[in-house]
Amino acid sequence: AANANGRSQCVGPEYRPEGQKPTATVSTEVHFDNVTILPQTPQLIALLTMIRDRDTGRADFIFYSNRIIRLLVEEGLNHLPVRSHAISTPLGTSYDGVRFEGKICGVSIMRAGESMEQGLRDCCRSVRIGKILIQRDEETSKPKLFYDKLPEDIAERWVLLLDPMLATGGSALMAVDVLKSRGVPEDHILFLNLIASPEGLENFSQKFPKLRVVTAFIDQGLNDKKYIVPGLGDFGDRFYTM
């Protein structure tokens, strides 16, 4: 069902009767094969409710954003290759497991993407992190590239590209162009994102169909200033300076 804000759905575990679950606005669905949306669990919706709330102060905004970022990183890692790996437990019994294969690095789109670096480090100790400084022009909403500094061997790595907001998609498209110009294959890039607009995601997925996007939520759309609606405002301001 859709309400004025978007798709409304009962939120809670499958085994619980519908009547015992509250309804909430959940992510818009899209039909791009390369997009993974986090499961719309009560926990995720509660965390998003906190960071979307205009009355949430900076300390809570950081705390709850970090929890969503952790979920995104954990899900993102599921899209990296693993291979079979058998071990023996202390009981002398074998266990057929897997282990990660290949080298990774993070790349944050500054400034807001830097907020996701710690969540990546918490899961991948001593991970290398490159930076791309792209800022949207406040008048035109067009992105401008100021700076990049990336690991020398980035072409041989899986890249976790970090930016919490995908609005028009312009900034992320520009960042991927930088990565591709350094030899990173499109299908070795994972874009980790908190909130996307349907139009931004469509631009992005059409241009880079082989790149996997992992997002927590797809919102309703953009306003006339190209802000995501209902959104959460300016992520960088709320995380760093407000």
- Residue 229: both structure tokens together: 């609606």
Q: Which residues bind ligand URA (CB under 6 A)?
A: 112, 165, 167, 227-228, 231, 234-236
Cβ count near 209 (within 10 Å): 12
207 binds, among ligand URA, ligand PRP, none (CB under 5 to 8 A by kind): none
| Residue 89 falls in the annotated catalytic set | no
Give the nearest distance from C-beta 19 to ligand PRP in angstroms: 39
Cα(69)–Cα(59) distance, rounded to whole angstroms? 15
DSSP 202-219: HHHHHH-TTSEEEEEEE-
| Residue 33 falls in the annotated catalytic set | no
228 binds, among ligand URA, ligand PRP, none (CB under 5 to 8 A by kind): ligand URA
SS3 content of the chain, % helix, strand, coil (to 5): 35, 30, 35
Q: Is 214 within 8 Å of 193 (Cβ atoms)? A: yes
Which of 140, 153, 177, 187 is an active site residue? 140
| Residue 23 falls in the annotated catalytic set | no
Tracing tokens 């009547």 back to the chain, one arrives at 19
Cα(16)–Cα(192) distance, rounded to whole angstroms? 31
135 binds, among ligand URA, ligand PRP, none (CB under 5 to 8 A by kind): ligand PRP
**Interactions with ligand PRP, residue window 37-56 (CB under 6 A):** none
Catalytic amino acids? Answer: 136, 140, 234, 237
Summarize as ranges the residues that interact with ligand PRP (CB under 6 A).
Answer: 109, 111-112, 135-136, 141, 143, 163, 165-172, 200, 226, 234-236
